[in-house]
Chains A and B, each alone.
Chain A
């Protein structure tokens, strides 16, 4: 099902004409209203008038997370505060928070895009939506909420946390749709089961999951444990929040990017060169219609690839693959690009392992080497006081890394406490290469 047939199925030619018109408007506007952009464009030697085709986009400079932080809190806003009706902010775990603002029209656009997401997931106004994304500065809760209301569905604004009460409400209110992070969906399923609730018998039929990277293995786990169809949604607060791209129920292969509002590119994270669709690279977005907080060529650091092929659902919009990792974390081992998240996915596919691992990158002569240190878990060692059992595990990990990722790694089983533990983000990678 399609919410806005006019725009979501626009022939590519008409869509690109619309994108160009909007791109010219937004570059013109930011040049005259945001000091940062005027300076950046001037330094790059480009004027808004130079944008005559969509390929001219490449002449514009990138905007980075650091630019956002340097202009904290409101330096990149393109409208006066009197026109802003909402503020959101990122958590700021890796530095200063980034603050985003919305005009009334921005909220309106966002609501429509979230409504499009729901319809792509077959949700209608007859559905009850259990929204367990956090409400607050985080864009997840309110973004989903407004989209659900726009559609006319009934929203349960449960927000995050208080899992026991969530399980009670899932039973008593009988929501048919659930929105949360994929890890929380699994957590709900587990806790429900331990409380003796038949989680597969709930009325839930579809889940819209996002805000963190997840794998197809995890999708299967969620679908089996809650007896639902699990769909992937993409968004980031800098660009808008949830609803930048959404997987459709018909295709379930990549998320449609709402290109009438966002211009997307993939680039080589090292050289900055624009890559053709199909090639893996860093996603770069330009907002085409945002009033309060327009962004030009914003480097998301998210690694994915674009699919240009038409989808069976009828949308003409390009699709993006699930996010494979962050460009800041990308490792290049003997020419093969690998993300810690991919290695983690391989490890998690092996029974008895926990996500406690560390990656040591080094260089022997001219060759890069990767050592994967994996903690021996309690459950593994309880049944394995024999050398051969641990050696078998070692070989299995080595083989799986080779089979799934094409990399040759040395696996080392280590004692539990030997790997770094930290609150918040753990540094998974130690790079000892002297390049």
Chain B
């Protein structure tokens, strides 16, 4: 039920992001969603794409530092308090969220949030137990 995400190390300089999007475009890969964590000196660009293997290969071939991490995609009711409901459960069960960002497309009537947990397996178990829908990679890429 886990989703693979690509992380790219970027220096904080003009043209850094453009280089990544160009490499991905040239390889004919579609970015499904992304998020950028930044500090004064460097940033980490996190991507969910339709072809993880190919994307990490072309980025690496272009001399970028790439890592693959597993994240969890969860359906969240698209109404006030929807996200809060999930976080409340996670807090109660003592599950730590490293970071999260939103998926661009909706899944039916629901929004999709991408979570990175310390322990994905434990998080998935808790989410399922509490009747949240965790999306598989295949499902997510085809939204």
**Residue positions of A touching B, CB distance < 8 A:** 376-378, 381-387, 390-391, 394, 412-418
A69 to chain B, nearest CB (A): 37
Segment at the A interface, from B61-69, B79-87, B104-112, B124-132: B61-69
13 A-B pairs whose Cβ atoms sit less than 8 Å apart in the complex: A376-B9, A385-B5, A385-B69, A387-B37, A390-B9, A390-B39, A390-B44, A391-B39, A412-B41, A413-B9, A413-B11, A414-B42, A415-B64
CB of B67 within 8 A of CB of A415, answer: no
> How many A-B Cβ pairs are below 8 Å?
50
Contacts of A387 in B (CB 8 A): 37, 39, 44
Contacts of A418 in B (CB 8 A): 11
Contacts of A386 in B (CB 8 A): 44, 98-99, 116
CB of B46 within 8 A of CB of A413, answer: no
Among B41, B46, B66, B69, the most chain A Cβ lie within 10 Å of the Cβ of B41
B55 to chain A, nearest CB (A): 14
B65 CB contact (under 8 Å) in A391, A394, A412, A415: A415
CB of B98 within 8 A of CB of A416, answer: no
Contacts of B11 in A (CB 8 A): 413-415, 418
> With A381-B67, A385-B67 given, is the CB distance from A415 to B41 under 8 Å?
no
> With A376-B9, A390-B42 given, is the CB distance from A417 to B63 under 8 Å?
yes
B7 to chain A, nearest CB (A): 4
* Interface size, B (range): 20 to 34
CB of B41 within 8 A of CB of A378, answer: no
User: Which B residues, 1 to 23, have Cβ-Cβ distances below 8 Å to chain A?
Assistant: 5, 7, 9-11
**Chain B residue with the shortest CB-CB distance to A373:** B11
CB of A415 within 8 A of CB of B99, answer: no
**Residue positions of B touching A, CB distance < 8 A:** 5, 7, 9-11, 37, 39, 41-42, 44, 46, 63-67, 69, 98-99, 116
A120 to chain B, nearest CB (A): 47
The 8 tightest CB contacts between A and B, nearest first, are A385-B7, A417-B63, A381-B65, A385-B69, A382-B67, A385-B67, A381-B67, A387-B37
| In the bound complex, CA of A73 to CA of B105 (Å) | 75
**Chain B residue with the shortest CB-CB distance to A384:** B67
| In the bound complex, CA of A54 to CA of B65 (Å) | 59
Contacts of B69 in A (CB 8 A): 385
B3 to chain A, nearest CB (A): 14
CB of B65 within 8 A of CB of A378, answer: yes
CB of A415 within 8 A of CB of B10, answer: yes
> With A376-B9, A385-B69, A386-B99 given, is the CB distance from A413 to B42 under 8 Å?
yes
| In the bound complex, CA of A332 to CA of B46 (Å) | 40
**Chain B residue with the shortest CB-CB distance to A375:** B65
B40 to chain A, nearest CB (A): 10
A192 to chain B, nearest CB (A): 31
Contacts of B116 in A (CB 8 A): 386
Contacts of A414 in B (CB 8 A): 11, 42
CB of B65 within 8 A of CB of A416, answer: yes
| In the bound complex, CA of A94 to CA of B41 (Å) | 35
Contacts of B44 in A (CB 8 A): 385-387, 390
Contacts of B46 in A (CB 8 A): 385
| In the bound complex, CA of A378 to CA of B67 (Å) | 8
**Chain A residue with the shortest CB-CB distance to B38:** A387
Name 13 extra pairs, CB < 8 A, besides A386-B44, A413-B42: A377-B65, A381-B7, A381-B9, A385-B69, A386-B99, A387-B39, A390-B9, A413-B41, A414-B11, A414-B42, A415-B9, A415-B63, A416-B65
